[in-house]
Amino acid sequence: MKNIFRYLMLMLVAATVALVSCAPDEPTPDAKEYRFELTSQPSMQFPAEGGEGLIEWTLNEVTRTKPHPEAELMFATQAEWITLSTEQLGAFVVAPNEGEAREAVITITYVEQVVEVAISQAAPEAKATELHYAQRLSSQDAGLELNNFAIVFADEAESIELGLLLVGAEEDEVLKAGRYSVENGGLDIEMSVVAIDGEEYAFVDGDIQVALSGEEYDFDIALTLESGQELLYTYRGEVENMVQEIVSEPVAFEPVSVKAEYYMIGNFFLQLYIDGTRYHELDMLDEIAPNDDFLSAGTYSYAQQTISSWSTFSTGNDQTCSLTEAEITLVHNADNTTTITGYIKSEQGDHITIDWTGVVDGFVYEKETGKTFTVEALSAKVDYDKAGQKDILFMVDEFSGHKFSFKSDDILLGKPLADGDYSSEAGTIDIAYCVHGYGDVYGDVTSAQATVVNDLEAGTTTFELSWVYEGNIYELSWSGAVAGINYAEDVVAEPLKFSPVYVEMIKVSSVDRYFYFYDQYENELVVNLYNGKIIMPYINYEGSKIDIDTNDFTFEYSDNGLGKENGLYTYNVRLVTVDGRTIEFKGNILTYYN
């Protein structure tokens, strides 16, 4: 039985093995193989500014083969200016180019496939230099036709100067928009030049694009030097003197008359009359021998400013314009006539020449002498007053008169002159301070004498005056009360009635101020307060100037916390005039701070 059981067990095992060995094998799947295919362009171009790029592709299944490891797609480049993305396969960035044009490749590897994509980048465009100034030269002065435009450009530092001769259409008087080049004949390179840092360069080609908006020009200038170097310039703005002034041929002009209007010593307005009302006017300055009577013989020039810019040229429509040039020569003749020769050019292009001889109305060559004139005075007032000197002004009208300076040891401030005779010869009249025509001609007196008689009871003074001015004798008799003189017997210690209503204060420094006090009658008190002292104070009181003692004074003021602002300042002032009269006031006074 044991053998039978063993046999059966062996048979069972054999059957099991047979069954296993006869079962079919499980199928093994094949690994897929792919082929890389580029779908974007095999070459890419980028501008100088750089940018982003993307390489696109597909993987196409081609067959089934035995298994193999999974393949990787790899991108690489040796160009430092190309950066491959680590986040997106195939993306890359091209850096900006500041140099010459450049090329590189991006290599793509897949299994045994190698594909290259060519990358190229352009060089940056040359930058144009900006010019800051443009002026058209005078075609007439340069001997060019009016449609030839000689234009000078310069940069801000004036290290670059560019001169171009552009040729417009025959009818063009101003430069029109368009293209001006060597090719189309609009640029004359033979007459054009560029200077850089003082060194001139000729060029063999050029192209200028001109745009125009109103009077504003846009120039884009490209020039090629003999060396092959290209220069680029731009200019935006107006071109000075683009509208040319056509100066006509000089026209001879003979004035119907000439008048000289006196302005001040050595300065006359010379009026060259066209007819009875219109004239060309030249403001002429005598630097040869300036005087009040006439312009000295010699040559006067607009360029030398002895004919000033205030001069005017009369145009045909009763209007005037300024001058651009003028030169006039004056010759004084023995018969008291003047010969005027020269020329005048106006800013409108007028050009006249002058050759005229005649009497100039307003020129005085010889003055009459030896005559005696009687002068009538309306009033008299003290113009300056101090011990030992008193200046009295005799008014002949509202604004002018004759001034005489009396000097004597017995002259008292504020008091009448002592009775008696005074003269320049005796030294009791100082002709250095005497003025003939005070407020008018301010003439020098060559000698003077006076007799003074006072009537103290009536409060009047009688003057008999005579003086010599320019060789003629002038006589004046006057009697009345002299303003600024107190005819009372004693004025010492009598207070002056002065109550200021406003003050003008000028700060010179932290320790130096000027105060100008004014009362309702426009009497004026002037005090210079310097470092706690008063300097040369005085008061113009009722027409007389009275000096103030600098030793006996009180001068206090406060801005009441206003600082520099205008407002009510508080003052406490006590002053004493040199003749003993007091000036006192205190309280708030409106003060203007400067």
What is the reported pLDDT for 3?
45
Which range marks the domain in which residue 296 is found?
251-358
| pTM, rounded to two decimals | 0.35
Q: Give residue 385's pLDDT.
A: 83
In the listed set 237, 265, 297, which residue is the last one of a domain according to the structure? Answer: 237
The answer to whether residues 268 and 369 touch, using CB atoms and an 8 Å cutoff, is: no
- Per-residue pLDDT at 580: 79
How high is the pLDDT of residue 350? 87
**Same-domain check for residues 232 and 257:** no
Please report whether residue 25 resides in a domain: no
Cα separations in angstroms, 505 against 195, 251, 515: 59, 60, 5
* Domain CATH for 78: 2.60.40.10
- The tally of CA atoms less than 13 A away on the side-chain side of residue 73 is 16
Give every CB contact of residue 355 below 8 A, 6+ residues apart in sequence: 252, 254, 339, 340, 341
Q: Which stretches of the chain score pLDDT less than 50?
A: 1-10, 12-24, 68, 491
Which among 310, 347, 298 has a CA at the least distance from the CA of 325?
A: 347
Number of domains in the chain: 5
Q: Measuring CA to CA, which residue among 411, 571, 545 is closest to residue 537?
A: 545
Please report whether residue 16 resides in a domain. Answer: no
Which of 211, 237, 263 finishes a domain? 237
Q: What is the pLDDT of residue 488?
A: 78
- The pLDDT value given to residue 32: 62
113 lies in the same domain as 137: no
The residue from 206, 237, 268 where one domain ends is 237
In a shared domain, residues 412 and 334: no
pLDDT digits (tens, 9 = 90+) for 513-532: 999 999 999 999 999 999 88
- Give a yes or no: residue 535 inside a domain: yes
> Residue 232, Cβ neighbours under 10 Å: how many?
13
Whether 381 and 457 share a structural domain: yes
Residues 292 and 383 in one domain: no
Q: Is residue 197 part of a domain?
A: yes
Q: How many CB atoms lie within 10 A of CB 118?
A: 13
Does 412 share its domain with 457?
Answer: yes
Under the phi-then-psi rule, with left for phi > 0, alpha for psi from -120 to 50, and beta for the rest, what region is 426? alpha
Quote the tokens at residue 492: 């010492």
95 and 62 in a common domain: yes
HSE-CB for 481 with a 13 A CA cutoff:
13
pLDDT of the residue at 462: 98
